[in-house]
Structures are given as C-alpha cells and as structure tokens.
Structure 1
Amino acid sequence: MSDAIQIQVADSHLYPGCAVRIAHLPEPAAGPRLADAHVEFADGSGAHATCQRRAHDELELSVDGYATQRRHPVNARHWLLFAVDATQHSWRVKRRLP
C-alpha cells in the first residue's frame, strides 16, 4: 500500500470535529476519482479506506471496519471532511454520511 494516501487521525476513532492530517493529497484529476488510503489512528490502530474529493476543500472518506488497540470494534463508516488550512494538510470531520 505504498502509493496509498496516508491519513493520521488525532483520536482512536472518527467523529464530527475530529482533527485529521493528510501530509500529501494528490491534486484532483478531471472528474471524481476514488483513491486508496490508509488511516492511522492515535492509539496505533489502522484501517483501509478510500477517499474522493467532493469539492476543492471537501473530501469523502469511507473507512473499513477495524478494532482499536483496546479491541473495541468500530464499524465501517462514511465521513465528510473539510480542509482547515490552505495547504490542505489539516482537515476536520464535518459530519457522518449515510
């Protein structure tokens, strides 16, 4: 998964308002495109995900189910993120999507 987008989450799970860091997000290609991602949570757990730009400063993130380091199961979820800075390295979870 070396070409997957690396996403770091400031907690052991995602929720509205949660801080997210994406060091390198590829520029949007012509039209929406799904990209593979690996999400690393603050407790050391991780999950596979896919992400897709919705707008210049919005990103849809679909995270597969995973277990936290304390073995708490977290179901697969779909999230909307928004960019907090112009470099688009800092993001926040806006809301959960259906």
Structure 2
Amino acid sequence: MSDSIQIQVADSHLYPGCAVQIPHLPETESAAAAVVEFADGSGANATCHRRAFDELELMVERYATQKRHPVDTRHWLLFAVDASHHSWRVKRRLP
C-alpha cells in the first residue's frame, strides 16, 4: 500500500478534539485508501475523502490498541486547523 495516505494520530484512538497529522493529502474528492498510525504503535486501514475544502471524512476499520483493547470500525469527520492541510482535528463521530 505504498500509494496509501499516511495518517498519524496523537493518541491510541480517535475522539472529538483529537489531533491528526496528514503530511500529504491528495486534492481529489474521491475516496482514497489510508493507513492510520496511532501514537501507541497500533495501526488500522482506513478510507478517507474530502467532504469540503476543510473537511475530511475518515472511516477507520476495526483494530486493537497496543494494550489489546478492541476498537470497532468508526466513521469520523475531521476539520483542517492550518492552511497547509497537514494538521487536522476530529470534529465529531459520524453515524
């Protein structure tokens, strides 16, 4: 998956207000494969796409944290916090 978008999360899971780094995000609005790397060393596959210029939908597949806590598949809305669109925050969980 070398063409996947790399996403770094500042914690072991996502939640509203959580900081997210995306060094390179394509401009396209179509869905793209992503690999999410959590701060505890765990990871998950995901799918993301831009909802608007400063909003991103992220569907993270089921994974387990390093402490083996299972986290179910979840759908999140993120918003950009800088003009370069490298720094994002989780706005809310989507249904």
TM tier relative to shorter chain? over 0.9
Runs of 4+ in 1 over 2 A off after TM superposition: none
Q: Structure 1 regions of 5+ residues with no counterpart?
A: none
**d(CA) in 1 for partners of 2:12 and 2:73?**
14
Once the two structures are TM-superposed, the CA of residue 55 in structure 1 deviates from its matched residue by 0.2
Shift of residue 27 of structure 1?
1.1
Q: Which residue is 1:79 aligned to? A: 76
Matched residue, 1:9 = 9
Query: Residues 32-65 of structure 1, C-alpha deviation per residue, up to 9 Å, x if partnerless?
Result: 3110000000000000000010000000000000
Equivalent of 1:89 in 83, 86, 91: 86
Q: Distance in 2 between matches of 1:54 and 1:27?
A: 11
- The normalised TM-score by structure 2 is 0.99
Q: Does 1:63 align with 2:54?
A: no
Q: Which runs of 5+ in 2 are unaligned?
A: none
Supply the distance in 2 between the matched residues of 1:46 and 1:96 (Cα, whole angstroms).
19
RMSD of aligned residue pairs (Cα, Å)? 0.5
- Which residue of 2 is the match for residue 26 of structure 1? 26
- In structure 2, distance between residues paired with 1:35 and 1:27: 11
**CA deviation vs aligned residue, 1:10-45 (integer Å, no higher than 9, x gap):** 0000000000000000112xxx31100000000000
User: Structure 1 length normalisation: TM-score?
Assistant: 0.96
Q: Confirm or deny that 1:41 pairs with 2:38.
A: yes
